[in-house]
Amino acid sequence: MTSDPISVLIWNENVDETRKPEVRAVYPDGIHGALAKAFERDGRFAVKTATMDEEECGLSEDALVGCDVLMWWSHHAHEAVPDTIVERVRRHVLDGMGLIVLHSAFMSKIFKALMGTSCELKWRNAGEKERLWVVAPGHPIVEGLGERIELAQEEMYGEPFDVPPPDELVFVSWFQGGEVFRSGCCYRRGRGRVFYFRPGHGTYPTYWNPQVQTTLRNAALWAARRAARIDGPPTRFGQHAPLEPLG
Ligand code: ZN
């Protein structure tokens, strides 16, 4: 039996690519274009991209209903996403849509809404080495990886990272400058699964790294809405009739 491909929607604010030649040099088709390349030759996935300049930021009800996993990259324009759209995305996550939050999207409205904390961290952009250590061997998100991923140049994010303790922690990063960071954090919110994955500063070729691409595909498989579908009928809340006579 073959199952339908997992529908992956890659969303990017697409601002750095239009303003900064150094980002365009690494990602000529945009960060979303590079992320899509990690999926498009794999028959398990059907991938689409969307950017903020589209109608309803490319995140219409129709787009989200058909989406098993939404991948989110943003940096400068977090506040430009209307609250009504953030709430729409949040509702779909609670109803089972997977969400993968990348790099600087730790400050996106949707991530902060789902975490309930400031999501603040330390940062430094000095092009230093990053080692992402796998701290959950056997987790589906690290299938096919070795014990670590090494990136020759990345921006540093340092602890403390003001997020709730993750349900599962998959990667811990070490940086050349001495800091450490929880770089792969899994959360369940409602029926949905959320994965925060740290690397991906726009001036470094991180999303072309084959191990990073493997991680992104694994994360999409882990987070996909189909897990919520298997769980049965829609969740019911509110006033509820007794199943047995009470009087
Ligand atoms: Zn960055």
Q: What is the largest CA-CA distance in the chain?
A: 74
Could you tell me the distance, in angstroms and rounded to a whole number, from the CA of residue 83 to the centre of ligand 1?
23
76 CA from centroid of ligand 1 (Å): 10
* Cα of 16 from ligand 1 centre, angstroms: 10
Confirm whether 129 is domain-assigned.
Answer: no
Q: Tell me the CA distances in angstroms from 174 to 72, 166, 198, 209, one per residue in order.
A: 24, 18, 12, 18
> In CATH, what number is assigned to the domain containing residue 16?
3.40.50.880
CA–CA separation, 30 and 27 (whole Å): 5
Q: How far is Cα 36 from Cα 59, in angstroms, rounded to an integer?
A: 17
The predicted structure's pLDDT at residue 231:
59
**What CA–CA distance (Å, rounded) separates 101 from 195?**
6
> What is the domain range of residue 205?
6-118+184-231
SS3 for 138? coil
Regions of the chain with pLDDT less than 70: 1-2, 227-231
Which two tokens mark 159?
A: 């602890």
Whether residue 163 is contained in a domain is answered as no
Q: How far apart are CA 215 and CA 220, in angstroms?
A: 9
Count of the separate structural domains present in the chain: 1
Whether residue 177 is contained in a domain is answered as: no
Q: How far apart are CA 194 and CA 112, in angstroms?
A: 12
Q: Is residue 146 part of a domain?
A: no
Take residue 117 and report the two structure tokens written for it: 């904390």
Is residue 114 a part of any domain in this protein? yes
**CA 155 to centroid of ligand 1, rounded, Å:** 6
Ligand 1 center to 103 CA (angstroms): 6
Distance CA 131, CA 144 (A): 17
The whole-number pLDDT of residue 170 equals 98
- Residue 1's pLDDT is 44
Structural domain contains residue 16: yes
CA 104 to centroid of ligand 1, rounded, Å: 5
| CA 231 / ligand 1 centre spacing (Å) | 37
Q: Two tokens at 114?
A: 């789902």
**pLDDT at position 230, please?**
61
Between CA 87 and CA 230 the distance in angstroms is 24
Q: What backbone torsions phi and psi does residue 125 show, to the nearest 5 degrees?
A: -105, 90
Calculate how far, in angstroms, residue 192's C-alpha sits from the geometric centre of ligand 1: 26
Query: Rounded mean pLDDT of the chain?
Result: 95
- CA-wise closest residue to 197 among 189, 187, 188: 187
Distance 35 CA to ligand 1 centre (A): 16
Is residue 166 assigned to a domain? no
Give domain status of residue 178, yes or no: no
